[in-house]
């Protein structure tokens, strides 16, 4: 939707999917594949989520963006019945938050713009098929900044700073198979 003559925009999304015949690792096989396991078409999983976002010029020269997502996954039926009801794709964070603000300065600095934002997510983990070990990462936030200069109506230049506080994190996590970690 749009409000305030199109200066503020928003979106809200819901989804729910159920996937049948989800590929599952067969730990009892002696498959000659590269990871030593075969996969079988078994299992049923569900993913459901909502996403919300607002963006726009909330007051003159001030642009804001706020977005969040919540994702819930669940194993409904697995060849290993102990996994029924457990979280599926646990390496996908349940919560994701994005905030960004930018302002075009006025007066003698009218060609200058500055901005800052944060991308944050909740913890995630993965269970190793080889050892059963839980490989996890705590939630984290990464802060970014920007300063720009408008040369004319066509050209502008900007300096972006990513991960300003040098946060150490993994973009995604996997298992120790194939030399990860």
Task: For residues 29-38, give the mean pLDDT.
Answer: 66
Burial 25-61 (b: 16+ CB within 10 A, else e): beeeeeeeeeeebeeeeebbbebebeeeebbbbeeee
The pLDDT, as a whole number, for residue 109 is 97
Phi, psi at 132, each rounded to 5°:
80, 0
The pLDDT assigned to 50 comes to 97
CA angle 148, 154, 155 (to 5 degrees): 35
pLDDT at 63: 97
Query: What is the 8-class DSSP label of residue 130?
Result: T
pLDDT at 22: 80
- For the cut 80, the answer to whether the pLDDT of residue 155 exceeds it is yes
Q: So what's the pLDDT on residue 153?
A: 94
pLDDT (average), residues 29-41: 69
Residue with tokens 């990871």: 35
pLDDT tens for residues 103-151?
Answer: 999 999 999 999 999 999 999 988 776 677 888 999 999 999 999 999 9
Class of domain 2-27+34-179: mainly beta
* Farthest-apart Cα atoms in the chain, separation: 72
Distance CA 87, CA 73 (A): 5
Long-range CB contacts for residues 69-73, cutoff 8 Å, separation at least 24: 69/95, 69/96, 70/94, 70/95, 71/47, 71/96, 72/47, 72/48, 73/45, 73/46, 73/47, 73/48
The per-residue pLDDT for 104 is 95
Q: What average pLDDT score do residues 168-175 get?
A: 81
Backbone angles phi, psi at 70, to 5 degrees: -130, 125
DSSP codes of every residue in 150-161: E-SSS-EEEEEE
- Domain boundaries of the chain, sorted by first residue: 2-27+34-179
Report the 10 Å Cβ neighbour count for 88: 19
């Amino acid at each position: 939707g749009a409000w305030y003559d199109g200066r503020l925009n928003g979106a809200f999304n819901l989804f729910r999917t159920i996937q049948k015949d989800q590929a599952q690792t067969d730990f009892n096989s002696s498959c000659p594949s590269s990871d030593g396991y075969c996969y079988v078409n078994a299992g049923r999983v569900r993913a459901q989520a909502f996403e919300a976002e607002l963006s726009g010029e909330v007051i003159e020269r001030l642009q804001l963006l706020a977005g969040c997502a919540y994702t819930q996954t669940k194993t409904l039926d697995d060849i290993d019945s102990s996994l029924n009801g457990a979280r599926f794709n646990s390496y996908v964070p349940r919560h994701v938050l994005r905030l960004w603000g930018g302002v075009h300065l006025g007066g003698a600095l009218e060609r200058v713009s500055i901005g800052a934002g944060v991308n944050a997510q909740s913890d995630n983990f993965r269970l190793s098929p080889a050892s059963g070990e839980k490989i996890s990462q705590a939630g984290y936030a990464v802060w970014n900044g920007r300063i720009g200069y408008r040369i004319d109506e066509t050209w502008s230049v900007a300096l972006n700073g990513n991960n300003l506080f040098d946060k150490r994190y993994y973009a995604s996590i996997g298992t120790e198979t194939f030399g990860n970690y």
